[in-house]
Amino acid sequence: MADLPRTHGLPDFPWDLLVPAKLLAASHPDGICDLSVGTPVDPTPEFIREALARAADAPGYPTVIGTVEVREAILQWARARGMVDVGMDGAIPTIGSKEAVAWLPSLLGVRAGDTVLVPEVAYPTYDVGARLAGATPVPVDPTRPDTWPDATMVWLNSPGNPDGHVLSPTQLRAALAWARAHGAVLASDECYAALPWQPDLVERGVPSLLDHDVCEGDPRGILVLYSLSKQSNMAGYRAALLVGDPELVRPVVEVRKHSGMMVPAPIQHAMAVALADSGHVQAQRARYRRRRELLLAALGEAGLENDPDSVAGLYLWVRDPAAEEADSWALVDRLARLGILVAPGDFYGEAARGRVRMALTAADERIEAAAQRLASLGREG
């Protein structure tokens, strides 16, 4: 029999391990507060749904590279964020950014024998994408390029999932200098960029790898990923984008010509319309800010601590300062007894052990219930 199927050396899907805690949390008399996943729960804005419906008549195949409309909208959005102008050949829509993260190494020609550097505390799909390409993922501290081994590709994620850390322009410049010195592609996943909380970030915006003062006007070797899932409540649309060095976008488009992965035409139109509007993004951020403040206050009352460097994004990155050893699962269990489900740090790498990730993506009523339950934890001592 042929030696198939093979699973690319992928790890077991970690979320299955959370089922017992989920059952425990669901047995709470007032129901579960599920803060374990970052899936948006607020409605997709009406004007985006209308744009989708207006473009519903789509009998022909969409172009692989994307419509002029959506590529211009991407460039306009990038300009408004202070990124360098990469031109029309440097901007394409993608089907979601999870898919882009998982397949980008393969699309760029990364292969067996290559090394892909991934943040040591990270969304697991960077590791998965390296493995799908047959390459070796190596976890590194994204702020310490001086410690990185040689590699063909490097992933950055700022603001970070799960830790909410934001790389400064200096840190981004250091990563870029390293990548250029080593001839590595530098890919930056910036899908939480619209969700800064710290006042200086709110004022100046979250730094991007493509900012003028970071890449000094030169996008060579750089790809930035962005997603409309979080900023526009469009996770169900699978609407995301790649912007950067046209020489790196070109092979992605070439492989897509052969293999598909075209973004559906109605989604491309809805994306263009959403990217042109910042009002709904601000409104959504205000909702998350209220939820974040409620949970932060309740965490304080419960004697738990959010990472002080968690300053942007959709998650709190929580630990119990009184715990004798770093044990994420003990904290998951303690919170599940209150009917609150969170994700253990262990899902995000060895270096994340001891913390849990608490998402802001639940309805206001569930966030309020979680806050009350946390506060009661503090009263129990």
Ligand X SMILES: Cc1ncc(COP(=O)(O)O)c(C=O)c1O
Report the interface residues with ligand X, using CB under 6 A.
38, 96-98, 101, 123, 157, 161, 189, 191, 227, 229, 235, 240
Distance CA 116, CA 131 (A): 9
Q: How far is the CB of 380 from ligand X (least distance, A)?
A: 33
Q: Which is nearer to ligand X, 123 or 197 (CB)?
A: 123
Contact 192, 159 (CB under 8 A): yes
Q: Which is nearer to ligand X, 302 or 318 (CB)?
A: 318
Closer residue to ligand X (CB): 320 or 346:
346
Tell me if residue 280 falls in helix, strand or coil: helix
Pairing label, strands 185-189, 222-227: parallel
Q: Which is nearer to ligand X, 99 or 333 (CB)?
A: 99
Query: Rounded to the nearest whole angstrom, what is the least distance from the CB of residue 324 to ligand X in the complex?
Result: 31
Smallest separation, CB 101 to ligand X (Å): 6
Smallest distance, ligand X to C-beta of residue 127, A: 12
106 Cβ contact partners less than 8 Å away, ≥ 6 residues apart:
129, 132, 133
Nearer to ligand X, 274 or 338 (CB): 274
In angstroms, what is the C-alpha Rg of the chain?
Answer: 21
Query: What is the residue type of 302?
Result: A
Residue 21: strand, helix, or coil = helix
Least separation in angstroms between residue 301's CB and ligand X is 28
Query: At 165, which amino acid appears?
Result: H
- CB distance 113 to 133 below 8 Å: no
First vs last C-alpha separation in the chain: 61
